[in-house]
Structure 1
């Protein structure tokens, strides 16, 4: 029997979001119905609202969520009603060329629910990142619902579903930060601070936070930054080199995604160092670096997709680190809000006033 629930919908490009009643069907084969308890307001949702992802309006926004499984479809054997889950936007298929080669974190055919959620008039909704969790209930593929300890507060656990996992994984999975490494992270928003936390937990001996906002730099220390650089008034590359004996860092992480921050990360590496880009650029951005520099500096230039994570493996690990007080997920939560407050939360995000606003249902 279909469920009618309140949800946040982006009806057309650039228009304020609307609260509408939508229809969520019961789960079909391989699907689960999740009662959403909390969902973070991520910059990707704003990209959807502004039509920067694609034009498949109307969008059902929200994708960084935790909740309770309410029903499971045919063939679902590893989840049951009442399970506490964090929802992932990658659910490895197990059959594509990447999964078959033992690299499910690069799955090229990630699973989503196939039964559509709709407006009351039957118009199909496009769920953000295949989730659509700014809603009282959402329908996802069973592989997207990752069971975690119910001891984790929903507003904290939800953030693992996207931003925290992306940043943490950029450092630990993509960058391969290890004990004794030096690390620089450019951009101290939610993703950047998660990268800082990941680097610190991995045992980096020096973690340098780079930003143009002193307040954000002060906050970065809470996540494990050992040094800070304000690049508005300081030449960031030289400052990072001075903090590393003149050599540069082993791993430089660009959590902003602009040509100028990418160049900074490129040149603040030590020789043979690793650059990880996890900040998402605008489609029209271009980069110009001399080819001889690419050759002569060596190392690796990597893009981090969702922190190159395997949700079924990594989500429970992050929840366990949170519960053991090693990872302060609560520090990422700037405020808790209701569904009606999402549009204003987007405005606060634009102004740089929050790490994460979290919708609590």
Structure 2
């Protein structure tokens, strides 16, 4: 029998979100109902509200979450009621060409719950990234539940569900940052600072944070940045070269996703260096015009990072363990704790760069 719970819904493009009564069905085969304990406010949710991802309104927002499995459907064996889980939007299929090649972190056919959650009048909801976690309970595919150590607080563990994993994975998984390497990170919001934290964890010795906001550069230092560059006051490419002996960084992460920052990243890397694009561009943006000889002459790699190229079943438990060991300061990403009624205000704070993460606690 469907349960009635409160959830944050974007009813129409560009309109403020509202708390609505939603119906959550009992889990079917390969599905789970999760009691959400905390969910971070991510830019992707704002993109959904603005119609920047699809136009399949209304949306049940929220996806960066942790909670307790309440019930599971037929055939579910990996998680059980009572398990503490982080929700993910990469429930790998095991059958697509990427999975068959042993690269499930690139799964091309990830899956979600088959049943739909609805408004009280029966209108079907589109859950953000197949999750919809700005709600007291949500229905997901069981593969979207990753069991982790319950000693971690939900406010912290849930951040691995999107932004922190995207940035940390961009540095470690996609960029391959290792001991003694240099890295520059352009854009020091939540994703960029996660890339800095990942580089610190991996043993990078020169970590250069680039932003146009001195507040964000101060945050970046807390996560391990050894150098900071305010790109409003200083040429970022020249500053990165100066900090790396004139050569450029081994890895440059663009956590903004604009043509100008991508061009900075391209020219700020060392020969045979790697550029990682993890900031999500809007559909209207195009790559900057760069002479083809520059691509050939510099070598290296230009990569996009999807969800930090993570495999949740591998990465989430490991990162929670590192947090519990005091080696990964996930708690520093939580700027404030809020309620479901505060999501619209949190969007404003995020848009103005006033927070790293607002986290809704249920």
| TM-score between the two structures when normalised by the length of structure 1 | 0.99
Deviation, structure 1 residue 348:
0.6
Deviation, structure 1 residue 94:
0.1
Cα displacement string for residues 181-211 of structure 1 (whole angstroms, at most 9, x for unaligned residues): 0000001100000000001110101100000
Q: In the alignment, which residue of structure 2 is the partner of 1:259? A: 259
Mapping 1:192-341, distance limit 5 Å: 192-287=192-287, 288-341=289-342
Mapping 1:1-361, distance limit 5 Å: 1-287=1-287, 288-361=289-362
Deviation, structure 1 residue 275:
0.3
Secondary structure, counterpart of 1:271 in structure 2: strand
Cα displacement string for residues 334-356 of structure 1 (whole angstroms, at most 9, x for unaligned residues): 10000000000001111110000
Deviation, structure 1 residue 17:
0.3
Deviation, structure 1 residue 177:
0.4
Distance 1:224 1:317 in 2: 20
Secondary structure, counterpart of 2:45 in structure 1: helix
Cα displacement string for residues 127-152 of structure 1 (whole angstroms, at most 9, x for unaligned residues): 00000000000011111100000000
Cα displacement string for residues 231-271 of structure 1 (whole angstroms, at most 9, x for unaligned residues): 11000000110111000000000000000000010000000
**Alignment gaps of 5+ in structure 1:** none
Distance 1:25 1:89 in 2: 20
Distance 1:92 1:16 in 2: 33
Deviation, structure 1 residue 70:
0.2
Distance 2:131 2:159 in 1: 14
Deviation, structure 1 residue 295:
1.2
Distance 2:321 2:32 in 1: 24
Deviation, structure 1 residue 318:
0.8
Distance 1:165 1:290 in 2: 33
Deviation, structure 1 residue 227:
0.7
- Matched residue count: 361
Deviation, structure 1 residue 78:
1.7
Distance 1:61 1:289 in 2: 38
Distance 2:321 2:79 in 1: 20
Aligned CA-pair RMSD: 0.5
Deviation, structure 1 residue 291:
1.2
Deviation, structure 1 residue 328:
0.7
Cα displacement string for residues 77-132 of structure 1 (whole angstroms, at most 9, x for unaligned residues): 12111000000000110000110010101101101000100011111000000000
Distance 1:166 1:146 in 2: 16
Distance 1:249 1:8 in 2: 42
Deviation, structure 1 residue 59:
0.3
Secondary structure, counterpart of 1:74 in structure 2: coil
Distance 2:290 2:40 in 1: 36
Secondary structure, counterpart of 1:183 in structure 2: strand
Deviation, structure 1 residue 293:
0.9
Distance 1:78 1:91 in 2: 12
**Alignment gaps of 5+ in structure 2:** none
Distance 1:142 1:172 in 2: 27
Distance 1:319 1:175 in 2: 21
Range moving further from structure 2, 64-73 or 287-296:
287-296
Deviation, structure 1 residue 294:
1.1
Cα displacement string for residues 310-339 of structure 1 (whole angstroms, at most 9, x for unaligned residues): 000000011011101111111000100000
Secondary structure, counterpart of 2:337 in structure 1: strand
